[in-house]
Amino acid sequence: MLRRAVFRFARDRNANVAIIFALVMVPTIFLLGMALDYTLAMRQREQLNAAADAAAIAAVRPAMLTQTDTAVVKATAEAVFAAKANLPGLSATPTPTVTVTDTGLARSITVSYTALSVNNFPGVLGQQTWKIGGSATAKASSAPNMNFYLLLDDSPSMAIAATQTDINNMITATKNQPSGSKNCAFACHETNPSKDSGATSSTKDNLAIARANNITLRIDLVQNAVTQLMVGPWTCPQSGVTGGVMQCMAALNNTTYKAAIYTFDYGLNTIQTLTTPTTAGTKISNIQLMTVDHQNCILTNSSGACVYSTDYGTDISGGLTGVNTVMPAPGTGTNQAGDTPQEVVFLVTDGVEDKLMPKPGTCDSAATYPLPTGSTSTVRCQQPLDTTICTTIKNRGIRIAVLYTEYLQLPTDSWYNSRIAQFNNPSSSTGTIATRLQSCASPGLYASVQTGGDISAALTNLFIKVASSTASLVQ
């Protein structure tokens, strides 16, 4: 009897949908509850990850990179995390684990956490909370203490008028000059132009003509650029800072910067040895064009006779060699006992050497011969920089920043076409002159500016690139 009743019940299909629905509801409710709690937990995890990111970045800000007390660094990260991690739906505000790793100037901060997200369906999941966790890592390098050695080209080629308008005005202003200086865009500084062919005792040199006509020269732009670096005016985002870009960046980075100024032509000229930027700034007016006696006479002896009867006056590699001798071995730039500043050379030049070399001819293989000889034992070379000295300096751990004031193409000038053009084509920014200077510079520390360009902005941007520190979120 019972057996037949069971069989009838099993064969009966009436109301089977309700039974199946009732059976399915149990796992459905379980899945829905779990999905809701999981979604809420993941949303909280995203918010806590953002809090960890903010905490890690806060601990590697420039102001914090100067903090040597690890406890203070950790407390800062913990405070930032706590301010953003007090979220509803957590069993408690999590306390992060902050790890600080310093290696020289570099700092790495890792902020990790675990938290418990309260479940809305604890009975379904069989647990009151859902465990979540995450971490964030930020790295940054503090700006080092640095010594800057400005090596500035003051040779006659830096006497070219600064813009095309200045060039045109200079050519017009020199239309009545003697043949050697006539219709010339260069304001060469000759102390005795009367010795030029066709000159008289009353003949002015081209520099005097440029000054009388308010024509701006490249050397003036270089002087202005150095002034902006060391004297200003410069609007600094940090209040209470006076001076130029160097003083501003030193204050922002909490570092110590020193500066030296040298010029070069046929030799190295000391304008100011290493000192504070403010003190160095008082000597900027001494950045002046190289002076020659007269055309084809760079040096005279005690009797007033020319030592070498040929023009020359740009020895870039000689200038770099001289500064290399002055610079000490660089340190890492930290404030730790026994450490010393990093060393940086700032080279500003148009990139073409014009110098005497000992015979037999040792000029660049692409240089045009013959050039007027300097003496029986020397030969005059016009050529791009030989980067051998650059490699020597960089191998010492010293960085080189190069600002190339692009050598003006002069296709109507016969001397340019026969002596320089092969180094300055297809353009002044892509020819051998430019590529040699770019090779001389340390990675990322090369900039160029064309005639009429803003040399002050270019030099400032190059300095800021050297001096800036950065922070990055790596995880």
**What are the φ/ψ torsions at residue 72 (nearest 5 degrees)?**
-70, -40
Per-residue pLDDT, 198: 79
Cβ contact 262:268 at 8 Å: yes
Would you state the pLDDT for residue 359?
82
Q: How many residues make up the chain in this entry?
A: 475
- The pLDDT, as a whole number, for residue 212 is 92
Which residues of the chain register pLDDT less than 50? none
Q: Which domains does the chain have, with CATH numbers?
A: 16-141 (no CATH), 146-160+217-474 (3.40.50.410)
pLDDT of residue 376: 79
Q: Looking at residue 3, what is its pLDDT?
A: 63
Q: Mind listing the pLDDT tens digit for each residue in 17-48?
A: 555 555 555 555 555 556 676 778 788 888 88
Question: What does pTM read for this prediction?
Answer: 0.76
